[in-house]
Amino acid sequence: MTTLSTAFAQAAADYRDRTAVIDADGTAYRFSQVQRMADSDASGWYAKGVRSGDRVLIAMGIGVDLYASLAALWSLGATVVLPEPAMGLAGVRTAIKATQPKFFCAAGPYKAIKLLLPDLWRIKLLTPNRHGKAAPYKPVADPDSLALISFTSGTTGTPKAIPRTHAFLMAQWKAVAPLLHSETAEIDLVTFPVFVLINLAEGRTSVLPNWKMSRLASLEPKAFVNWISANHCTRALLPPALCEKLVKAGETGTLGHIFTGGGPVFPDVVHNLQNITKNIKVTTVYGSTEAEPIAHANSTEEGYGLYVGRPVDAVRLRIVDMEIQVSGNHVNTGYLDPRRDAENKVYEGAMIWHRTGDAGRLDDQGRLWLLGRVGDQVTTDKGVQYPFAIETAARMWPGVVRAALTERNQMPVLVIEGDAKHMETWRGGAAAFGIKKVRNISAIPLDRRHHSKIDRIALRKYLSIGRNMF
């Protein structure tokens, strides 16, 4: 069975002179160059003792070195450990504790992490091996071996370590491939690393961000568009926060198709993009860290909740007590620490269902609508209301930038970021849903990973202390 590392090698042979990656500094790397970098790293790290089954913690920026390193380590049969980048050093500590890596692989300023964390002092450092010691090695391609350990974001609790075999990554590729398929050559601006891996395996060009994803607030919309146009990107894979940057810029550059996910994609964002560029295609993708993708949509629809389209062919999906549960070859079946499985896994004979924690419903056409996180619903004078149903509607009201439905002192509150001169209109809209309290704040707090999900824990904390922290 093919693995991603062997798929990389085959793509490098088939598309030697095609551009594989355009790095953050604008340097273009051909497929043959990326493969040579991976081969050099693998032979050098084999000489340093990396063997099949070894766990290797990686700390690198999103760049060509990261993808060459992944290909190199997988060709050696090693297991890559990826900390949650949004957590900073805390994420690295969590990854060390959960996986006990044998090696630490880093490049550039990330090498300093070894000095900052005593847990890494006794672990051998691996750096990109472009001209160092080398040793011949035989590539390993075992589909059942562990390829990757990554982590949930930790926004709703302690981060969980998610193991992925090579077979799992191949199943994910198979699930994603129909979404990304194109009859013409594409140049993709990619902000989600997993899609770069798939592009490398398929011989497609990926343009990487020239900004830090952890600092989206400081990215100038015009500079963003300039990066798209300078690299002649025809498609982009972006979180909703970056779609909003395009809206603020008032242009989409050379793009003809945008894939967006990693957070709720509200209809107003899609409509605003289409108002800028009439013929642009927008595909929303719904998934989770444990199951990507789950569903996708090429249009917006009005109804109770947030429309995310039809489940992908590779997934089995059901709704149990309003919660979305999924199963499939590309759906995680258990965590590295099996004690965590009880929180999110349902066992029914040979079938394992993943509880997403998302509330949703399927309509009579088999289309999926998201309602928010299970447990975030509130009780109003009009009955139980779910966040996305209210927030989707509120974002269409005048002056609203963002909206969040929550509770304070067991009373439903609609929190709105926007121009307070429309407060009376907002109150009238909220009353239609049975919500009596509307609160205006300067900025609703968002998640650290994609700056696209409301940080409801931080929001409730803000409301509890009664002063504007954001």
Per-residue pLDDT at 469: 39
pLDDT in tens, 364-420: 999 999 999 999 999 999 999 999 999 999 999 999 999 999 999 889 999 999 999
128: CATH: 3.40.50.980
Same domain for 441 and 360, yes or no, is no
pLDDT in tens, 24-66: 999 999 999 999 999 999 999 999 999 999 999 999 999 999 9
Looking at the predicted structure, is the pLDDT value of residue 352 above 70? yes
Please check whether residue 350 lies inside any domain of the structure.
yes
Per-residue pLDDT at 332: 96
Same domain for 65 and 142, yes or no, is yes
121 phi and psi angles, rounded to 5 deg: -60, -35
Same domain for 71 and 133, yes or no, is yes
Read off the pTM: 0.93
Looking at the predicted structure, is the pLDDT value of residue 467 above 70? no
Same domain for 357 and 431, yes or no, is no
In angstroms, rounded to a whole number, what is the distance separating the alpha carbons of residues 59 and 108? 10
DSSP state of 198: H
Same domain for 57 and 129, yes or no, is yes
Residue ending a domain, choose from 374, 398, 427? 374
Same domain for 393 and 346, yes or no, is no
Which structural domain, as residue segments, surrounds residue 386? 376-465
392: CATH: 3.30.300.30
Same domain for 350 and 391, yes or no, is no
Residue ending a domain, choose from 124, 142, 162? 162
Looking at the predicted structure, is the pLDDT value of residue 324 above 50? yes
Please check whether residue 270 lies inside any domain of the structure.
no
Residue 84 CB partners (closer than 8 Å, separation 6+): 91, 94, 95, 150, 151, 152, 153, 154, 159, 449
Please check whether residue 264 lies inside any domain of the structure.
no
Same domain for 121 and 107, yes or no, is yes
Residue 420 CB partners (closer than 8 Å, separation 6+): 399, 440
Looking at the predicted structure, is the pLDDT value of residue 424 above 90? yes
Please check whether residue 300 lies inside any domain of the structure.
no
Same domain for 137 and 48, yes or no, is yes
C-alpha distance across the termini of the chain, in Å: 51
pLDDT category at 78 given cuts 50, 70, 90 is: very high
User: How far is Cα of residue 272 from the mean position of the Cα atoms in its chain?
Assistant: 22
β-strand partners of 65: none
pLDDT in tens, 173-217: 999 999 999 999 999 999 999 999 999 999 999 999 999 888 888
Tokens 């995680």 belong to which residue? 332
In angstroms, rounded to a whole number, what is the distance separating the alpha carbons of residues 415 and 439? 5
Q: Three-state SS for 64?
A: helix
How is 287-333 classified by DSSP, letter by letter? EETTEEEEEEESS---SSSEEEEEEPTT-EEEEETTEEEEESTTB--
CB 404 within 8 A of CB 415: yes
Mean pLDDT for the stretch of residues 431-458: 92
Q: What is the mean pLDDT of the chain?
A: 94
Mean pLDDT for the stretch of residues 86-93: 91
Same domain for 136 and 33, yes or no, is yes
Per-residue pLDDT at 470: 38
Looking at the predicted structure, is the pLDDT value of residue 137 above 80? yes
CB 167 within 8 A of CB 1: yes
Mean pLDDT for the stretch of residues 98-126: 96
The identity of residue 278, as a single letter, is K
Query: Angle at which helices 193-202 and 64-75 pack, to 10 degrees?
Result: 70
In angstroms, rounded to a whole number, what is the distance separating the alpha carbons of residues 423 and 400? 10
CB 5 within 8 A of CB 100: no
CB 216 within 8 A of CB 258: no
Please check whether residue 450 lies inside any domain of the structure.
yes
Residue ending a domain, choose from 98, 129, 162? 162
Please check whether residue 221 lies inside any domain of the structure.
no
Token pair belonging to 371: 């309602």
DSSP state of 347: E
In angstroms, rounded to a whole number, what is the distance separating the alpha carbons of residues 26 and 117? 32
Please check whether residue 69 lies inside any domain of the structure.
yes
Same domain for 52 and 92, yes or no, is yes
Pairing mode of beta strands 187-190, 235-238: parallel
pLDDT in tens, 250-282: 999 999 999 999 999 999 999 999 999 999 999
Portion of the chain with pLDDT greater than 90, in percent: 87
- Number of folded domains in the chain? 3
Per-residue pLDDT at 466: 59
Token pair belonging to 231: 């690299």
Report the run of H or E that residue 458 belongs to, with start and end: helix 456-465
Please check whether residue 122 lies inside any domain of the structure.
yes
338: CATH: 2.30.38.10
Per-residue pLDDT at 155: 63
Residue 190 CB partners (closer than 8 Å, separation 6+): 196, 199, 206, 207, 208, 236, 237
> Which runs of E-coded beta strand occur in 341-450?
345-348, 351-362, 368-373, 378-380, 383-385, 400-408, 411-418, 437-441
Q: Look at 267 and 467; give whichever has higher pLDDT.
A: 267
Q: Look at 190 and 139; give whichever has higher pLDDT.
A: 190
Quick one: CA dihedral 374, 380, 384, 388, positive or negative? negative
Same domain for 91 and 108, yes or no, is yes
